[in-house]
């Protein structure tokens, strides 16, 4: 079954769902298109009423939403609650600020006057991943609904209950039929949706492979797209870093959401002078985490999202070792029921090892020792990805200089890659293009129209 909810803590099937028939899919697209025809004419205040109401309801129902997520994809319950609250904040942020972000912008041509105005473009198709089952949805719903577009969303196969709960949230908030629609559809149906004339833009968050496939399809149809793809963020530790501050961030950066975060710290690049101390303390801290029930607040490490994700990650580690890497911590599944993996550190990952360019989507850290700051930057930039990254140093100006030289969409000094509603999120290279969140996130799927008035003589 393509849409199955399985608890990764114990492998039990919770619920499964049939995919939509083509006829059902068509009915949902008709409803979305119909809704757009009226929604695009609504005022910001009318849109904000529904989006802010969804934010409020989500804020009131944190425990219920978080519980569904933890059961379905194994996120530790306190992290799950944090995600629900953050999703509510994102919706509220756009309800409050969309009108200001999309206000007409005066231009200053040499002759006459001109302005840019922003208008919605239609039904937007979102394809979203399981690792942040609500936050990813809020990142598209907040801005694009407030801009006057409507949404049809294909969520990941392993989180159908979260997908359905989020759709229901909008119904409860008073959304008209067709404003926000969850589509339980196959990849082949998804291709048809991208091709469909009623769809005017495509927003995908997911793997590089999915991005290539869907961006190509959108391109063939000359439709705008935004791609939020994978990452292999560098965590640079310079010799003057404060390890008491750095180590907890290193652990959090790699282990938050059991390491299944696009902008997680994945490559630890440490200047030689401090490398032994860093590695000793990092290994000890990772080794102290214990697998347990993600619903139990005392648990320090949850399972991976699915058994297949675990199997794939273990294979990646084995392949890395077969090509010369060494495991100095973990490397195996935890012997107990559920899809758990020991926190793992790989060293000696040479440049010709396929792992060097891989994304490890789980609790696996690659450790690299470098001579100095320049070598750290060179190594950080030697990646197909360009999502985020961090640098740890006591000298903030030095941190800023390093941040400017790392070729990514985001850099963080003395903390790890993270997002806030107000700050644009996104990457370069294989990490994709376009930005979500902040002011930029609402500009992706709007028509920026130039309107000019100039009193000039008619041509003769």
| Chain contacts with ligand NAP (rule: CB under 6 A) | 2, 127-131, 154-157, 187, 190, 205-207, 210, 213-214, 228-231, 262, 359, 361, 387, 431-432
Residue numbers annotated as active site: 228, 262
Secondary structure in 3-state letters for 1-67: CCEEEEECCCCEEEEEECCCCHHHHHHHHHHHHHHHHHHCCCCHHHHHHHHHHHHHHHHHCHHHHHH
Strands 385-386 and 265-271: unpaired
Report the 10 Å Cβ neighbour count for 188. 9
Longest CA–CA separation in the chain, Å: 85
Helix axes of 77-101 and 44-60: crossing angle, nearest 10 degrees: 170
Select 389 or 432, whichever has its Cβ closest to ligand NAP: 432
Non-local CB neighbours of 322 within 8 Å, separated by 6+ positions: none
Q: Do 85 and 59 touch, CB atoms closer than 8 A?
A: yes
Select 97 or 205, whichever has its Cβ closest to ligand NAP: 205
Strand order in the sheet with 446-453: 105-107, 113-120, 446-453
Q: How far, in Å, CA of 454 to CA of 37, rounded? A: 32
Q: How far, in Å, CA of 89 to CA of 55, rounded? A: 7
The two three-digit tokens of residue 37, written as one number: 């025809």
DSSP percent split of the chain into helix, strand, coil, nearest 5: 40, 20, 35
Give Cα separations from 147 to 98, 142, 166 (angstroms). Answer: 7, 9, 19
Q: Do 205 and 129 touch, CB atoms closer than 8 A?
A: yes
Select 153 or 376, whichever has its Cβ closest to ligand NAP: 153
Q: How far, in Å, CA of 318 to CA of 303, rounded? A: 19
The two three-digit tokens of residue 58, written as one number: 């989500």
For 287, the enclosing helix (H) or strand (E) is: helix 272-287
Q: Do 387 and 233 touch, CB atoms closer than 8 A?
A: yes
Query: Which single residue brings its beta carbon nearest to ligand NAP?
Result: 206
Select 20 or 57, whichever has its Cβ closest to ligand NAP: 20
First to last CA, the chain: 69
Select 369 or 435, whichever has its Cβ closest to ligand NAP: 435
Shortest separation between residue 25's beta carbon and ligand NAP, angstroms: 13
């Amino acid at each position: 079954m393509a849409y199955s909810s399985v608890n990764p803590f114990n492998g039990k099937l919770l619920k499964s769902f049939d995919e939509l028939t083509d006829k059902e899919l068509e009915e949902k697209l008709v409803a979305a298109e119909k809704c757009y025809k009226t929604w695009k004419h609504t005022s910001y205040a009318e849109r904000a009423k529904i989006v802010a109401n969804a934010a409020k309801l989500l804020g009131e129902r944190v425990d219920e939403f978080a519980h569904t997520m933890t059961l379905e994809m194994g996120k530790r319950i306190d992290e799950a609650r944090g995600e629900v609250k953050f999703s509510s904040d994102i919706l509220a942020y756009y309800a409050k600020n969309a009108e200001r972000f999309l206000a007409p912008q005066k231009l200053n041509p040499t002759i006459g006057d001109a302005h840019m105005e922003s208008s919605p473009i239609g039904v937007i198709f979102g394809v979203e991943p399981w690792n942040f089952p609500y936050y990813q949805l809020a990142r598209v719903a907040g801005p694009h609904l407030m801009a006057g577009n409507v949404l049809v969303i294909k969520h990941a196969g392993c989180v159908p209950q979260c997908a359905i709960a989020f759709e229901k949230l909008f119904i409860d908030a008073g959304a008209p039929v067709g404003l926000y629609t969850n589509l339980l559809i196959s990849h082949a149906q998804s291709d048809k949706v991208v091709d469909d004339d009623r769809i005017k833009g495509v927003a995908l968050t997911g793997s590089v492979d999915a991005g290539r496939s869907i961006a190509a399809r959108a391109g063939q149809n000359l439709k705008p797209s935004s791609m939020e793809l994978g990452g292999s963020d560098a965590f640079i530790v310079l010799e003057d870093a404060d390890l008491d501050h750095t180590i907890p961030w290193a652990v959090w950066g790699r282990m938050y959401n059991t390491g299944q975060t696009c902008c997680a710290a994945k490559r630890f690049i440490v200047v030689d002078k401090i490398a032994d101390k860093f590695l000793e303390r990092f290994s000890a801290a990772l080794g102290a985490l214990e697998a347990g029930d993600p619903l139990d607040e005392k648990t320090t490490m949850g399972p991976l999202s699915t058994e297949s994700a675990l199997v794939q990650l273990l294979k990646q580690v084995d392949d890395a070792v077969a090509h010369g890497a060494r495991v100095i911590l973990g490397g195996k599944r935890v012997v107990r029921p559920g899809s758990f993996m020991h926190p793992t550190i790989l060293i000696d990952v040479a440049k010709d090892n396929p792992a060097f360019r891989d994304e490890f989507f789980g609790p696996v850290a690659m450790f690299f020792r470098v001579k100095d700051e320049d070598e750290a930057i060179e190594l950080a930039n030697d990646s197909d990805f360009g999502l985020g990254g961090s640098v740890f140093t006591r000298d903030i100006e030095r941190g800023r200089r390093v941040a400017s030289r790392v070729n990514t969409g985001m850099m963080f000094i003395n903390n790890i890659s993270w997002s806030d509603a107000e700050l644009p999120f996104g990457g370069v290279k294989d990490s994709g293009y376009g930005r979500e969140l902040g002011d930029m996130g609402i500009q992706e799927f709007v028509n920026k129209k130039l309107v000019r008035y100039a009193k000039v003589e008619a041509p003769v």
